[in-house]
């Protein structure tokens, strides 16, 4: 009997072209990033609705991370965050309130006015 490998469930995480452009600009400004670098996308407890999004540049993925490429951007998602981020699209918008990243999350059951936290 062959040994069975543990399969990490697949997940989908998208980045629009405007968001990818901003991420690439930011990463290009970071000195000495290795080819293995990517954007860590996480969900952390907090915010006014229970969870909030976190974006960080990291030099490499960690064991058991989902590594996802979208519009030329490599993203790392840990197992905890994956359950909340599956199907999410990250966008970058500019409006009268300013500019920043937004998250279109089909898993969220509620949100808040600031758009940076959600309920699941």
Report if residue 1 sits inside a domain: no
Higher pLDDT, 35 or 10: 35
Residue 110 has pLDDT above 90, yes or no: no
Asked if residue 98 lies in contact with residue 32, where contact means CB atoms within 8 angstroms, the answer is no
Q: What is the pLDDT of residue 118?
A: 57
- How many structural domains are present in the chain? 1
Report if residue 8 sits inside a domain: no
> What is the reported pTM?
0.82
> What value does the mean pLDDT take over residues 53-82?
95
Determine the structural domain holding residue 98 and report its residue range.
13-27+35-115
Report if residue 3 sits inside a domain: no
What length does the chain have?
Answer: 120
Report if residue 104 sits inside a domain: yes
String of DSSP letters for 41-86:
EEEEEETTTEEEEEEEEESS--TT-EEEEETTEEEEE-HHHHHHHT
Cβ neighbours, 10 Å, residue 112: 14
Report if residue 97 sits inside a domain: yes
Which band of pLDDT confidence, cut at 50, 70 and 90, is reported for residue 67?
Answer: very high
Residue 43 has pLDDT above 70, yes or no: yes
Residue 64 has pLDDT above 60, yes or no: yes
Report if residue 89 sits inside a domain: yes
């Amino acid at each position: 009997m062959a040994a069975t490998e543990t399969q990490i469930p697949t997940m989908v995480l998208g980045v629009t072209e405007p968001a990818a452009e901003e991420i690439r600009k930011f990463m290009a400004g970071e000195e000495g990033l290795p080819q293995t670098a990517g954007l860590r996308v996480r969900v952390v407890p907090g915010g006014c609705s229970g969870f909030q999004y976190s974006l960080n540049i990291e030099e490499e993925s960690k064991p058991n991370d989902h590594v996802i490429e979208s519009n030329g951007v490599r993203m790392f998602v840990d197992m905890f965050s994956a359950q909340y981020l599956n199907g999410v699209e990250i966008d970058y918008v500019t409006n009268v309130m300013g500019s920043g990243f937004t998250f279109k999350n089909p898993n969220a059951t509620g949100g808040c006015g600031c758009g940076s936290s959600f309920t699941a």
